[in-house]
Homo-oligomer: A and B are copies of this chain.
Amino acid sequence: MPDQSERRADLAAMLHPLFQALLAAERRILARHEISMWGYSVLSALDGQPARSQAALAQSIGADKTRIIGTLDELQDAGYIIREPDPADRRVHLLSVTDAGQRKCRAAQADIRAAEEALLAELTPAQRRTFLDVLTTFADLPLDDILRA
């Protein structure tokens, strides 16, 4: 299948500059919105989702559950999230996003989306669709297992 004469860099090497550039852009945008990257990750993950425990949220966004506490405190202080005791288990705080939090998240997201669209506009429509499809495909795969085989 793959052409043996195909010369290409390692995938990680190819992805690295793209990923770093996207992160840098995101940092700039989030700084303008005065919200941290972890804060934005939390709000994004909570947006439109049922309330969840802190541990579940941390796991879902790849955050360290012990270090995310500070971020959650800040978000709560800013009025962007609510922590409520779980009636089913008194150890647990359930997190949900407030209206203000949702507005903050979506405003930042709109700017990030605009920056991304500028980038995607460099592609043909077919390339764009395929690129996004591929990323979606990969998102549903057990990447570590496949790469370990």
Contact = CB atoms under 8 A, between A and B. Distances in A.
Interface of A: 1-2, 8, 10-19, 21-26, 28, 41, 44, 62, 109, 112-113, 115-123, 125-128, 130-139, 141, 143-144, 146-149
14 contacts: A1-B121, A10-B44, A10-B113, A11-B116, A12-B19, A12-B26, A13-B44, A19-B19, A28-B148, A118-B146, A119-B138, A119-B143, A123-B137, A131-B134
A135 B119 CA distance: 12
A121 to B, nearest CB: 7
A125 B19 CA distance: 24
Contacts of A11: 22, 116, 119, 135
Contacts of A23: 12
B18 A118 contact: no
